[in-house]
Amino acid sequence: MKNKVVIATSNKHKFAEMQECLISIFDVVYSLTDLGISIDAEETGSTFLENSKIKALDISRKVNLPVIADDSGLSICSLNDFPGIYSSRFMENETYENKCKEIIRLLEDKIDRSAYYTCAITFIDKKRDIFKQIERRSEGCIVKEYKKREHGFGYDPIFFSDEAGEIFGNISKEEKFKYSHRGKAIRDLVSFLRELYS
């Protein structure tokens, strides 16, 4: 029997980043589009972990498969961790170019430009008897100027990663995954699942 999983996200960039790593554990990695379903639950949690659980449970109730959900975002230290869990909802109908430019504007008079990405993952097994949550971060800072970049998505054009020594928007998906919040969280999950399924 084939090992299958669904990644509960409507963000195609998140899906693309997570999919490859999960292929080492699962034979089939479904997106929500593959299954013709979507997340209907509202993100009413006050933390990344709570919101990833809300998404995972919503999808788990709709499919008879293990589910992995990601809630993530960018927190800026001198803005009291804003936008944080509101990273997607902040200036919701604007382009990411405008959102990034607004963040640079908000930091105009700030000395501290440090920021970090957080990724919270919730895994729920098919029978809903195994529940695992992981939260990981990647630290860096916000650059002073907006430029269109070749890679990445969301806030990647303005996020300089300390560990990568480069702006996420300037490095490939594979390179970013080595250092990113999502890469760290998914690798931890894969280690957990390897033990579980061995």
Q: Which residues are catalytic?
A: 71
Q: How far is the C-alpha of 25 from the C-alpha of 191, rounded, in Å? A: 10
Is the CB of 95 or the CB of 198 nearer to ligand ITT? 95
| Residue 9 makes contact with ligand ITT by CB under 6 A | yes
Under DSSP, is residue 193 helix (H, G, I), strand (E, B) or coil? helix
Find the shortest distance in angstroms from Cβ 131 to ligand ITT: 18
Contact pick of 30, 57, 58, 71 for ligand ITT (by CB under 6 A)? 71
Q: Check: CB of residue 141 under 8 Å from CB of residue 168.
A: no
Build a one-symbol-per-residue string for 158-197: x at contacts with ligand ITT by CB under 6 A, - elsewhere.
----------------------x-x---------------
Contact pick of 3, 11, 19, 78 for ligand ITT (by CB under 6 A)? 11
By DSSP bridging, strand 67-76 and strand 131-142 are unpaired
Q: Which tokens sit at 175?
A: 């390179």
Q: Check: CB of residue 74 under 8 Å from CB of residue 87.
A: yes
| Residue 58 makes contact with ligand ITT by CB under 6 A | no
DSSP state letter for 158:
G
